[in-house]
Amino acid sequence: MATKRFMTLPRHIMEGEKEHPEATGELSTILLQLGLAAKLISLEVNKAGLAEILGFTGDENVHGEKVKKLDIYAHEMLIKAMDHGGHFCVMASEEEEDIIHLPPNQKIGKYVLLFDPLDGSSNIDANISIGTIFSIYKRISQGNGPGTREDCLQPGYKQVAAGYVVYGSSTMLVYTSGHGHGVHGFTLDPAFGEFLLSHDGIKIPKQGRIYSLNEGNYFSWPQGLKNYIKYLQSNLFEGKPYQARYVGSMVADIHRTLLYGGIFIYPGDKRNLKGKLRLMYECNPMALLMEEAGGRATDGHSRILEIQPEALHERTPIYIGSEDDVLLVEKFLRDGADRY
Ligand code: AHM
Ligand code: MG
């Protein structure tokens, strides 16, 4: 078996930069800083089960330090790692209501960072995979003063990079810098402390054999979605029905979908017409990754990346994965006329 190239995340990012003579190197630095933050969050996530020994969240630990909830820790760690490089003009996090300004006296840059610091955090206590999701834009506001809410409210196709870190059986960072540069995955070597290229140029199969959604909400789904899932269950595809897989951590479910193909769905339903997942922090970055890997991501009708956001924390239904699977569910939704 041929040995894979030994390629660290920093080397991969630097080599990618060489292909772009116009690049200033800023985006590379941002990605490297995100990699560093990911390592620190990963270390803390790996200690999660020790909380009772080292101190409950909210308590003081044996060192007399307050033990933070992991999602708050991840949120603060990302801000701390990212707000001093002079690259950003504004940030926004799923954990904070409003936009996050840079500290006073910091150099202000031309990029915008949006992130979900620890997605799926309700799974932490059961040792189930969780993740960090990030999304990077260029500012649209004029001048070099602090960024604005409008800088954050850009449609997803304007992202210049996006990615996630999955804290699972190993820690992986997966990113794309868009524009056909592909999706690349790096696995953290815990001894070496570095991300190594393990999944070069990820391509999702055109059709998969797995569907992934919370079936507990079945009776609230639109009729077209009910029909689609029943169709997958009652037909055989190359001799087998589709398999159901649902972790309940978007990062883990999307990671599996990218690698194996199939479809991940968080629909709108009777109670929540726009579903649960957030456009800016969850759906846009995953949609960019999915399209770059050759997949498709829509709200059931239209491309996620073309939604013009109106609010920082707005939600959207999402149907994302292998192209043929997403196209088929869209057809079922049209035929079911979105009736409930
Ligand atoms: P969170 O941002 O509060 O962690 O919620 C987002 C998570 C996603 O990771 C996951 O896909 C979804 O919520 C699961 O929701 P549900 O429990 O309704 O199936
Ligand atoms: Mg989340």
What pLDDT was estimated at residue 139? 97
What pLDDT was estimated at residue 162? 97
pLDDT band for position 47 (50/70/90)? confident
| 223 and 121 housed in the same domain | no
User: Sign (positive/negative) of CA torsion 97, 103, 108, 111?
Assistant: negative
What pLDDT was estimated at residue 22? 73
CB-based contacts of 117, cutoff 8 Å, min separation 6: 41, 71, 74, 75, 77, 78, 93, 94, 95, 132
CA-nearest residue, atom 5 of ligand 1: 120
| Amino acid, single-letter form, for residue 122 | S
Cβ density class 243-256: b for 16+ within 10 Å, e for less: eebbbebbbbbbbb
Q: Is the CB of 276 under 6 A from ligand 1?
A: yes
| 276 and 232 housed in the same domain | yes
Residue 214 lies in a domain: yes
Among 114, 217, 250, which is best to mutate for testing ligand 1, by the most ligand atoms less than 8 A from CB? 250
CA-nearest residue, atom 14 of ligand 1: 248
What pLDDT was estimated at residue 14? 84
For residue range 130-185, list pLDDT tens digits in order.
999 999 999 999 988 999 999 999 999 999 999 999 999 999 999 999 888 899 99
Rounded mean pLDDT of 256-272? 96
Distance (Å) of CA 27 to CA 143, 174, 190, 204? 19, 15, 25, 25
pLDDT band for position 261 (50/70/90)? very high
Rounded mean pLDDT of 290-314? 98
Residue 13 lies in a domain: yes
| 142 and 217 housed in the same domain | no
Give the domain range for residue 323. 210-336
What pLDDT was estimated at residue 306? 98
Range in 58-62, 75-79, 193-197, 303-307 with the lowest mean pLDDT: 58-62
| 187 and 233 housed in the same domain | no
Q: What is the mean pLDDT of the chain?
A: 91
Residue at a domain's end among 199, 228, 255: 199
Residue at a domain's end among 199, 220, 243: 199
| 156 and 268 housed in the same domain | no
CATH number at residue 93: 3.30.540.10
Asked if the model's pLDDT at residue 64 lies above 70, the reply is no
Q: Which residues surround ligand 2, an ion (CB under 5 A)?
A: 116, 119
For residue range 223-249, list pLDDT tens digits in order.
999 999 999 999 998 899 999 999 999
CB-based contacts of 318, cutoff 8 Å, min separation 6: 264, 265, 266, 275, 277, 283, 286, 287, 297, 298, 299, 304
Residue 46 lies in a domain: yes
Residue 232 lies in a domain: yes
Residue 228 lies in a domain: yes
Q: Is the CB of 249 under 6 A from ligand 1?
A: yes
| 116 and 33 housed in the same domain | yes
Total number of domains in the chain? 2
Q: How far apart are CA 220 and CA 228, in angstroms?
A: 14
Dist. CA 181 → ligand 2 center (Å): 26
| 326 and 242 housed in the same domain | yes
CB-based contacts of 33, cutoff 8 Å, min separation 6: 81, 82, 85
Residue 204 lies in a domain: no
pTM passes above 0.85: yes
| 271 and 140 housed in the same domain | no
Asked if the model's pLDDT at residue 302 lies above 90, the reply is yes
| 182 and 263 housed in the same domain | no
Q: Is the CB of 171 under 6 A from ligand 1?
A: no
CATH number at residue 285: 3.40.190.80
Q: Is the CB of 119 under 6 A from ligand 1?
A: yes
Q: Is the CB of 313 under 6 A from ligand 1?
A: no
| 7 and 44 housed in the same domain | yes
Asked if the model's pLDDT at residue 4 lies above 70, the reply is no
| 235 and 162 housed in the same domain | no
What pLDDT was estimated at residue 177? 92
User: Which two structure tokens, joined as six digits, stand for 102?
Assistant: 């840079």
What pLDDT was estimated at residue 54? 55
Asked if the model's pLDDT at residue 337 lies above 90, the reply is no
Rounded mean pLDDT of 18-33? 83
